[in-house]
A and B are shown apart, each in its own frame.
Chain A
Amino acid sequence: MSDAAGKIDANTKSMTIIVTKGSLDWAYPPFILGTTAAAMGVKVEMFFTFYGLALLLKKLDLQVSPLGNPAMKMPMMGMHMGLPNLMAAIPGVEAAATVMMKDLIKRKGVASIEELRDAAVESEMTLIGCQMTMDLFEYKVEDLIPGIQVGGAATYLGKALKSDLNLFI
């Protein structure tokens, strides 16, 4: 365990998170848990792979889709409203849903992903971009925020095998 000043001793707990999803809604769990763990003195390593790699891009452009997402019910006019897939598939609906979600997030005092990612960088946790994903989707290190590491499955496993807690999100 580390103290409030963040000093690390032999008993410091460690945690890894595999981040596989890059939509606005799915970006929350890994960043919330990662930053909170770091605030609680846990040594955190986050491994961004497949669509999760989008969360490391310099310019975040996260969207949320009501398509195939029946649990997405927004509070509106005193009710909770969802969209049937047929309507959710109409061009422009995803953009509108994203605007609504971002507005809701702001109004309710929920942190933006930009804010949580800044907190993650500030807390000096290790952020690792998946090399294979970068090759697959044609991203260069320069496309990602500075200070990240790049690695593969063995890099992740090397860390996960020594960690107290490993999450796949």
Chain B
Amino acid sequence: MADHTLDAKGLKCPLPILRTKKVLKDLPLGKTLEVLATDAGSVADMRAFCQVTGNELVESGETAGVYRFLLRRAG
């Protein structure tokens, strides 16, 4: 179970990333955030976001059109 879940379903670029950042910055170090999105572009975007910011992308997957990302706050 993630420490926090963000529902970004129905949102288009760049909102899933902006919302993710907003929640992540208030999350203590080492805690995890689950992001749910329907934006197909968020797969590549979330990977790039984590690469640049140093947060860890623990899991990434898709079920029935919903993309699920598990991030761990780092840095």
**Taking beta carbons and an 8 Å cutoff, which residues of A are in contact with B?**
1-6, 32, 35-36, 39-41, 108-111, 116, 119
Contact = CB atoms under 8 A, between A and B. Distances in A.
Nearest to A31: B14
Contacts, number: 54
A109 B12 contact: yes
Nearest to A42: B52
A3 B54 contact: yes
Contacts of B17: 36, 39-40
A3 B25 CA distance: 9
Size class of B's contact patch? 20 to 34
Contacts of B20: 39
A146 B12 CA distance: 28
B33 to A, nearest CB: 10
A1 B54 contact: yes
B72 to A, nearest CB: 10
Given A1-B54, A3-B75, A39 B21 contact: yes
Interface string B18-52: 10110011010000000000000000000001001
Given A40-B53, A41-B52, A41-B53, A5 B25 contact: yes
Nearest to B45: A36
Contact of A3 (B12, B14, B74): B74
B13 interface: yes
Contacts of A111: 11-12, 14-15
Contact of B18 (A3, A5, A36): A36
A114 B49 CA distance: 23
B68 to A, nearest CB: 18
